[in-house]
Amino acid sequence: MSVPIETATQQAVTRLITAMQTNLGTAITAVKDAGLVLPSPIDGAYYWLPRGVDAGGFSPGHEVYVMVYEDGQSRSVGAGGHRAGGPTYHNAESSLRLAVHLEALLAPQDALPLNGKTTFWVDLEALRADRYSGALLKTLYQYGAGAGVIHTMDLVSAKADVTEVEKTRRVAVKTVWSITQDVQVPQNNQ
């Protein structure tokens, strides 16, 4: 099934956000160690940032939130395909790069016994970043593609850091995906 080129990006973003709203909380709970504070994003904490909006300056005020935005070159469309929908359109494969960025504020947490030893604040921050990264990757790999909207998803890069923004410690997980879609492209009838 192909999607119209003019709505393909928004359909891909909607697919990813829906997959995360439905499954990310469960994935976070599944990777959470006993006693580790690892809250999930609420349903209203998923955002699409249109081209031109600076993701670095975006802060919606949620404890945990996810942003989806275009990364780098927006879209490329392969030539060819067969006629579909009459003489004015043909099907083609299109590639798109989307970034999925999760941020979580880090409330201080007491030391936690893990693997037979006491784990302190700095190590817990790194552990939280690792767990959020794993849950996000699992969710997108398992549920991102499909529904006739996203044909394939390939991970381009993934990075999990603990940062400090305005004296607030936070986990930042950024993943970049190369997405392919089957799209309907207008014929060049000149």
Indicate whether 118 belongs to any domain.
yes
Q: Tell me the pTM.
A: 0.86
Q: How far apart are CA 62 and CA 53, in angstroms?
A: 18
Task: Tell me what pLDDT residue 74 has.
Answer: 64
Indicate whether 77 belongs to any domain.
no
- Encode pLDDT of 160-170 as tens digits: 998 876 677 78
Indicate whether 139 belongs to any domain.
yes
Token match 């690792």: residue?
130
Position with higher pLDDT, 185 vs 135: 135
Range of the domain at 128: 7-72+95-177
Indicate whether 182 belongs to any domain.
no
Indicate whether 55 belongs to any domain.
yes
Indicate whether 81 belongs to any domain.
no
Mean pLDDT of the chain: 85
Number of domains in the chain: 1
Q: How far apart are CA 160 and CA 152, in angstroms?
A: 23
Please report which confidence band the pLDDT of residue 83 belongs to, taking 50, 70 and 90 as the band edges: very low
| Structure-block tokens of residue 59 | 């802060």
* Residues forming a β-bridge with 24: none
Q: How far apart are CA 106 and CA 124, in angstroms?
A: 10
Strand-strand pairing, 64-77 and 46-49: parallel
Indicate whether 27 belongs to any domain.
yes
Indicate whether 82 belongs to any domain.
no
Task: Tell me what pLDDT residue 82 has.
Answer: 47
To the nearest 10°, the Cα dihedral for 64, 66, 67, 68? 180
Which of helix, strand or coil describes residue 6?
Answer: coil
Task: Tell me what pLDDT residue 69 has.
Answer: 92
- Encode pLDDT of 96-117 as tens digits: 999 999 999 887 777 777 777 8
